[in-house]
Amino acid sequence: MILSFFLIINLKAIACNRRVILQDEGQSNYLNSSLVSKGYTTYVVKSDYSLGNQKLKLKEGTIFEFDGGSIHDGILELSTDCMLIGAVYLRRACRNVEVRISGQNVCLERVEIINESGIGLQSHTNCSHLSILDSTISSSCDNAVKLVADHIEGVTENVRFENCVFYFRRMGVEIQNHGNNSCRYNKLTISRCCFKMLPSPEYGYAISLSGNGRNANISSNTINGTVVGVEIVGFSDVKIRDNTFLDITAKAIVASNERIMSDITIARNRIICPKAKLQILNTCNLSIKNNDLRLMNLELGGCTQSIISDNNIYCYGHYAVMIDGTNKESRNNIVQNNTIEQLGDNWAVFRCYGKNATKNKFLRNKIKRAISKGVLYDQKNGAANNVLIK
């Protein structure tokens, strides 16, 4: 598998066929630029090296292949065509190391990054074709991963995190594009990863897509015990599919932005979070289908042309589904063919609220209420022209 990534990402290093063994039996091993001075070279790390709390920038095409060794205490900067690779069945930590990405075509595979004093991995540049695979990234005080595209040139494309574990206090994976109305991210994949929040969180968000971007695929992940599962603030064309959310305490999935987002798909997820909401704001063409949802309630606000269908919904709040038109139009949304069990202190199973909530339809849903009080459907605060068909 390693060879396949060599072929895809780092052909020049293979062509040069330069391999340098980094091995020193001494007790004070410091890794500096003089020991890794050649680009497009594979350095096999067999000993433990300190960065001396300094920054070491690897030249283009440098491959670090960890084979029994590790690095610790400092900043490791990866430029274009760089790779970090751990040996099969042996993960040695980059201990108290912040990994920075300053180029494109970078790959980390089977490595462990632990940083107790800052972010685990970050980039403030165009880091297109970044692959983080089969790795563990941990920050006990900040983000595990933070990619920032504020004011960069071009679009960061083809970023993927697969089969990884993230430990964090602030955020697991944060994708940021602030102060910029242009799309700066395209083709993002977060798949088959596990997110674990550390004690005393600052924010406790597993995944945050913040700013203008598109084409994100969040699939087959496990998010357990965080404050927020997935936050979408400005991204469009986002697919959240086949994930498991457990014991989220505030919002399992939340989407919100002043600019209207579009084409968010939430499908085939298992969300077991009785204390959390699923809240989608300012979105058109939203699809929520074939999910198992056990949560406080589901809220839409400022949404148009949405469809919520074929879900099993167990709600513990005062209502199961609310469409809010207080501030922006919430119209032409359809809630149909769901099985809904209301387990909380029921006000209404379906509620439309606000003068801009209109022309929404609730069709052919199967309803069961544990508490008989309350109503099946109501319109409040000016909501009108909504349709309920049992």
What's at 190, amino acid-wise?
Answer: I
pLDDT level of residue 88 (50, 70, 90 thresholds): low
Q: What single-letter amino acid sits at 32?
A: N
What span, in angstroms and rounded, lies between the C-alpha atoms of 116 and 133? 22
Contacts of 199 (CB under 8 A, 6+ apart): 169
pLDDT at 9: 47
The pLDDT value recorded for residue 3 is 41
Tell me if 150 sits within 8 A of 139, measured CB to CB. Answer: no
Instruction: Assign 389 a pLDDT band (cuts: 50, 70, 90).
Output: confident
What pLDDT shows up at residue 18?
Answer: 87
Q: What pLDDT does 151 receive?
A: 81
pLDDT one-digit tens code per residue, 40-66: 999 999 999 999 999 999 999 999 999
Per residue in 202-257, pLDDT tens? 889 999 999 999 999 999 999 999 999 999 999 999 999 999 999 999 999 999 99
Q: What is the pLDDT of residues 372-385, one digit of tens each?
A: 677 889 999 999 99
Residue 269: the pLDDT is 98
Name the nearest CA neighbour of 362 among 372, 348, 374: 348
Looking at residue 370, the DSSP 8-state letter turns out to be S
d(CA 168, CA 116): 10
For residue 30, the 8-state DSSP code is B
The residue among 108, 75, 111 whose CA lies nearest residue 93 is 111
In this prediction, residues 254-261 reach a mean pLDDT of: 92
| pLDDT recorded at residue 201 | 84
Placement of tokens 């709040």 in the chain: 317
User: Scanning the structure block, which residue is given the tokens 């913040």?
Assistant: 210
Place of tokens 């670090």: 64
Give the CA dihedral 251, 254, 258, 263, nearest 10 degrees: -170
The rounded distance, in Å, linking the Cα atoms of 334 and 311 is: 13
Claim: this prediction has a pTM higher than 0.85: yes
E strand or H helix that includes residue 12: helix 11-16
Question: Does the structure show a pLDDT above 50 at 142?
Answer: yes
Which amino acid, residue 187?
A: K
Higher pLDDT, 370 or 63: 63
Q: What is the mean pLDDT of the chain?
A: 91
Cα–Cα separations (whole angstroms), residue 74 to 99, 113, 151, 304: 9, 12, 27, 49
Q: Among candidates 47, 44, 45, which has minimal Cα distance to 25?
A: 47
pLDDT at residue 2 is higher than 60 = no
Express each pLDDT in 303-348 by its tens digit: 999 999 999 999 999 999 999 999 899 999 999 999 999 888 878 9
Is residue 16's pLDDT more than 70?
A: no
